[in-house]
Amino acid sequence: MKELRVIHDWIRKSRRTFHTISRVSSLPDPTFICEGRTMVSFSSNNYLGLAHSPRLIAAAHKGLDQYGVGNCESRLLGGDMDIYRDLEAKLAKLKDKETALLFATGYLTNLGILSSLTNSATVARVYGLHSRTRYRHAYFSDECNHVSIREGIRMSGALKVTYRHCDMDDLARKLKKNDATSKIIVSDAVFSMDGDIAPLPDLLRLADDHDAMVYIDDAHGTGVLGETGAGTSEMFNVKSPRLISMGTLSKAYGAIGGFIATEKYIADILRFTCSAYGYTSTLPPDQALAVSEAMSIVQEEPERRRRLWENQRYFVARMEGLGLKLVSKQSCIVPVLIGDEARCEKCARLLEDNGFHVDSIAFPAVKIGTARLRFNMNANHTREQIDRLLDILDRQIKNDWK
C-alpha cells in the first residue's frame, strides 16, 4: 500500500527505528554467532542459560521420539495428552495454586485469558443461565503494562481504567470511584521496559478492599525471583485466592509457551470459554517435556540464580560508578535512560560494532523522549564480558554523551 510506504520512509528518515541486528546462526548463551562473528548478548531472556542445557535438549529429544513434533489438535478434542496435564500440575504447585492452564505462547495467554474472563457469562446463557444480577466488568491496568495485556483487555470489550505506573494511591481512587460489579486489577510483575517490580502485596490489599481480582503477568519473574525461583508471589511471600498468576516458559525456562495458575473453578470455566485454549493447538510435546526438565533444574541448581544476581549487582554497581541514569535496578532487566532516540540508536550500533548486542528501546515501546538501552543480565555472563562492555560505554560517555 502506498500509505504504508510513505509511513515507512518517513519513520526511517526521521528516527531510524527499523534497524535490527544482522541474521544470527546460533542462540545466545550469552555468546552467539552473527554472520561469522562471535558476539555477546545483553538482550536475551534466557536468564539462566537453560536453552542450551544438555538436560533440556535430552528431554526435548525424548518428546520428539515418543510424540513427534506436534499434537495437531485442540486439547478440548483429542489433543489433551498426559504430558500437558503433568506440566500443569507442576506449574500449579510452583505457584501454590489449585491448577494451571497451558497455552502455546505467553502473548497468546494474555490475549486469550483477558479477553475471556469478562465474557464467560455469554456462553453460560446459551445453556440457560439467566442471572438476576447484571454484571458490569472493569479492568484496572497499569499504564506500563505489556502490549499483550492491553490487547487482551481491548478484545474483551470491557471497560478499561488505566492507573499511573505503580501508583497505588491513583489505583485506590479509581477503584473506589468505579461502580463495576466485577473489578480486575492487571499488572506486569516485572515491567519489561523499565525493569521495576510491581508492589504485589499492595495490589492484593486493594483487591481485598474493593472485592477485586488481581491478574499478574510474571513473565520475567518466574524462574528468577523468590527463594526457589517461583516468582514474584514467592519473593513477597503472598498468597490469595484473588490472584491469577500468569507466566511464560520462553524466558528463564528457555523453551516456549505460557500459562496461568489459578483456582480450579476459574480454570474449569476458561477451558470452555477461552478461544485461545480451546480453538488451537498448544505447545509441542517436546517443549512440554523440556519445560518440565527446566523447572527441575531451577530447583536442583540454585547456583544459576545466584550467578545471575551476582552479575546483576556487579553490573549495577559499575554502571552507577559511570554516572549513568538507571531506570531501575530491582530486577535482571537494567535499562539505562538515554532520552534522545537517535542517540540511543547510535549507542546500540556502537556496541554492536564492538561485539555486543543490546536492545535500543524507543517509541512506541516507551514514551517519546525516554529512549533507553535495555540490558538483560544472564547467569553465564563473565566478569570480563561485563567489564569490556562497560569500558566501551565509559569511553563513549567521555567522547559523546557529555
d(CA 335, CA 34) in angstroms, rounded, equals 24
Burial of residue 82 (CB within 10 Å: 0-12, 13-18, 19+) is exposed
d(CA 120, CA 183) in angstroms, rounded, equals 15
Query: Has 251 been annotated as catalytic?
Result: yes
Full DSSP string of 276-345: HHHTS--S-HHHHHHHHHHHHHHHH-THHHHHHHHHHHHHHHHHHHTT--BS--SSSEEEEEEE-HHHHH
* Marked catalytic residue, from 95, 97, 220, 357: 220
The one-letter code for the residue type at 152 is G
d(CA 104, CA 113) in angstroms, rounded, equals 13
- Enumerate residues 6+ apart whose C-beta is below 8 A from 175: 140, 183, 185, 206, 209, 210, 212
Burial of residue 179 (CB within 10 Å: 0-12, 13-18, 19+) is exposed
* Marked catalytic residue, from 251, 331, 357, 360: 251
pLDDT value at residue 149: 98
- Enumerate residues 6+ apart whose C-beta is below 8 A from 34: 21, 22, 23, 24, 25, 357
All three cell numbers of 228: 526457589
pLDDT value at residue 9: 76
Per-domain residue ranges for the chain? 15-44+302-401, 54-300
Do 217 and 245 meet the contact criterion of CB atoms below 8 Å apart? Answer: no
Query: Has 187 been annotated as catalytic?
Result: no
pLDDT value at residue 366: 93
d(CA 339, CA 369) in angstroms, rounded, equals 5
* Marked catalytic residue, from 148, 192, 245, 292: 192
Looking at the structure, give the CATH architecture of the domain made up of residues 54-300: 3-Layer(aba) Sandwich (3.40)
Query: Has 93 been annotated as catalytic?
Result: no
pLDDT value at residue 27: 80
The one-letter code for the residue type at 169 is D
At residue 366, φ and ψ (nearest 5 deg) are -135, 170
Mean pLDDT per segment of 10 residues, for the chain of length 402 residues? Answer: 75 59 78 89 96 96 94 86 96 98 97 92 67 84 97 96 98 97 97 97 98 98 97 97 97 97 95 91 95 98 97 95 91 95 90 93 92 96 96 77 53
CATH 2.40.50.60 correct for 15-44+302-401: no
Distances (CA, A) of 244 to 142, 248, 262, 273: 16, 14, 5, 17
d(CA 256, CA 290) in angstroms, rounded, equals 9
| Greatest C-alpha distance within the chain | 72
